[in-house]
């Protein structure tokens, strides 16, 4: 098992069941999938995201530099605003999905912890003497999601930001904290960047305000239902942005050139057509990431995230060949029937 995070003992005291994901210890569940799922849907679920990290870009040219690096329009954001974006190679392969939060003196970039190294190396490689500096930020990332997430933040003394990726600096349990509206969370929600030494205090305050701890099994169920792909789980550097379905959220069609822009523009000119794309799949039996999808005996894709939904049973996100994009396409996973759907609410 990987090294324990700052909340390991807190999770253990709440009957947290630990698993390792890509070398990072996370809580799979607290022993009640249905209850945790309900909190993440209609209540207020509190999730520890030890797989997330952040770095700060500072210097007088930070906005113009990042504008030429990432896929969305960061230069047009005022302090307190933000956007989701992708960092790509020159050939358009996604190496990070970002939350870019603009402040008065810096831009905070949140991404998967495993992607911070490649992201930092790419930014430094292209800096070429520009007066821009990058530094990792020592933060823990927590998430609050569900219909009552905003109510919980208000009970904890935080005025929740409402616009996607908007954010503000607050004090939570005496610790400086950044809270942002998070478009990559299912159903909307908020992420909080907390200093590691204050993580346990902030966790307790949010629990006292009405949030319920939620493990990654329930979070995955909600992510799959809402089709919220995450880097590492559903997106890697093998993928083009169009394959992920995130072009509309992470790309500005009106900004100038950036890394990977030629590939994005070429696909846009062709109507966004790609050979494979991420789809929701209804399963008839549990599956696992990496499982092969077949159609009439032919390999047509791979499962990326598989989950057990208390509402819909076994479900998944999967990359599917273009021949099976259509709603209702009949597939098999390990011999068990599966179906491509636009929504799990479909009969």
pLDDT of residue 172: 97
Does this model's pTM top 0.85? Answer: yes
- Give the number of domains in the chain: 2
**CATH number for position 323:** 2.40.30.110
Residues 190 and 327 in one domain: no
- Give Cα 227 distance to the centre of its chain: 11
Which structure tokens are listed for 107?
């831009």
- Give Cα 170 distance to the centre of its chain: 22
Residues 208 and 287 in one domain: no
Instruction: Name the nearest CA neighbour of 290 among 316, 313, 263.
Output: 316
DSSP annotation of 323 reads G
pLDDT of residue 99: 98
DSSP annotation of 308 reads E
Strand 94-102 versus strand 106-112 pairing type: antiparallel
Residues 159 and 19 in one domain: yes
Residues 44 and 165 in one domain: yes
Instruction: Name the nearest CA neighbour of 290 among 300, 301, 298.
Output: 301
Residues 159 and 42 in one domain: yes
Secondary structure class of 322 (helix, strand, coil): helix
Residues 42 and 158 in one domain: yes
pLDDT of residue 3: 63
Mind listing the pLDDT tens digit of every residue in the chain (347 residues)?
A: 456 789 999 999 999 999 999 899 999 999 999 999 999 999 999 999 999 999 999 999 999 999 999 999 999 999 999 999 999 999 999 999 999 999 999 999 999 988 899 999 999 999 988 899 999 999 999 999 999 999 999 999 999 999 999 999 999 999 999 999 999 999 989 999 999 999 999 999 999 999 999 999 999 999 999 999 999 999 999 999 999 999 999 999 998 899 999 999 999 998 878 999 999 999 999 999 999 999 999 999 999 999 999 999 999 999 999 999 999 999 999 999 999 999 998 75
DSSP annotation of 240 reads B
Q: pLDDT tens digits for 95-145?
A: 999 999 999 999 999 999 888 999 999 999 999 888 999 999 999 999 999
**CATH number for position 25:** 3.30.1360.120
Q: How far apart are CA 226 and CA 322, in angstroms?
A: 21
Residues 280 and 347 in one domain: yes
Indicate the residue among 190, 209, 225 that finishes a domain: 225
Domain that holds residue 178: 8-50+138-225
Q: Is residue 199 part of a domain?
A: yes
């Amino acid at each position: 098992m990987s090294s324990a995070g700052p909340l390991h003992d807190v999770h253990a005291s709440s009957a947290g069941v630990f698993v390792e994901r890509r070398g990072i210890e996370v809580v799979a569940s607290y022993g009640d999938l249905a209850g945790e799922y309900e909190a993440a849907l209609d209540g207020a679920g509190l999730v520890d995201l030890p797989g997330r990290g952040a770095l700060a870009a500072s210097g007088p040219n930070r906005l113009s530099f990042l504008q030429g690096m990432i896929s969305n329009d960061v230069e047009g954001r005022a302090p307190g605003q933000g956007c989701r974006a992708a960092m790509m190679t020159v050939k358009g392969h996604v190496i990070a999905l970002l939350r870019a939060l603009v402040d008065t003196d810096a831009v905070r970039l949140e991404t998967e912890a495993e992607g911070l190294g490649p992201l930092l190396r790419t930014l430094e490689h292209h800096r070429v003497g520009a007066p821009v500096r990058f530094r990792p930020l020592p933060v823990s990332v927590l998430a609050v999601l569900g219909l009552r997430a905003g109510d919980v933040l208000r009970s904890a003394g935080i005025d929740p930001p409402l616009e996607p990726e908007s954010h503000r600096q607050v004090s939570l349990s005496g610790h400086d904290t950044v809270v942002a509206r998070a478009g990559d969370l299912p159903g909307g929600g908020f992420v909080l960047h907390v200093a590691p030494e204050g993580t346990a205090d902030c966790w307790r305050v949010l629990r006292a305000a009405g949030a319920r701890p939620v493990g990654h099994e329930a979070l995955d169920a909600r992510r799959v239902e809402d089709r919220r792909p995450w880097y590492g789980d559903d997106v890697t550097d093998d993928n083009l942005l169009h394959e992920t379905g995130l072009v509309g959220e992470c790309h500005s069609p009106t900004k100038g050139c950036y890394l990977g822009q030629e590939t994005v523009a070429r696909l846009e000119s062709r109507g966004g057509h790609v050979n494979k794309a991420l789809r929701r799949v209804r399963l008839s039996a549990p599956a696992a990431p990496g499982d092969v999808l077949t159609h009439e005996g032919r390999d047509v894709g791979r499962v990326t995230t598989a989950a057990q939904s208390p509402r819909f049973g076994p479900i998944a996100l999967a990359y599917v060949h273009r021949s099976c994009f259509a709603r209702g396409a009949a597939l098999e996973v390990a011999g068990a029937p599966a179906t491509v759907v636009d929504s799990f609410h479909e009969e």
